[in-house]
Amino acid sequence: MTPAARRGEHFATGASGFAKLSFMPNPEKIEKKAAPPASVEKQIAGFIDKFTPEHALIIRQCRDELRRMFPTANEIIYDNYNFFVIG
């Protein structure tokens, strides 16, 4: 076995004649997936619960209003130690 094959690299020549490089995962090195995280809504509730009750209420109201305004939008939430973002 070549060193490239041991690393999971595979070469193939495409129709253009140029070599294409692809990487195949090594089954021995793939980590087992951890148990699935708590439901998304539970995680979001946990993020929001870190705030004072007044601020948590405002965050929930804003989130509800945005979901009514943009029902098909994707929601991205970022929780950092000193700020919280919903996009």
The verdict on residue 26 lying in a domain is: no
Whether 72 is covered by a domain: the verdict is yes
The owner of tokens 């029902």 is 71
Which residue in the block uniquely carries the two structure tokens 């708590």? 38
Structurally, the chain folds into a number of domains equal to: 1
Show the domain range for 45.
40-86
Please choose, from the candidates 50, 46, 77, 79, the residue with its C-alpha nearest in 3D space to the C-alpha of residue 62. 77
Whether 21 is in a domain gets the answer no
Residue 12: inside a domain, yes or no? no
Residue-wise pLDDT for 46-76, tens only, equals 889 988 999 999 999 999 998 899 888 888 8
Residue 75 domain flag: yes
Kindly report the number of other CB atoms within 10 A of residue 12's CB atom: 8
- pLDDT greater than 60 at residue 37: yes
pTM equals 0.53
The secondary element (H helix, E strand) that includes residue 49 is helix 40-49
How far apart are alpha carbons 31 and 75 in whole angstroms?
A: 29
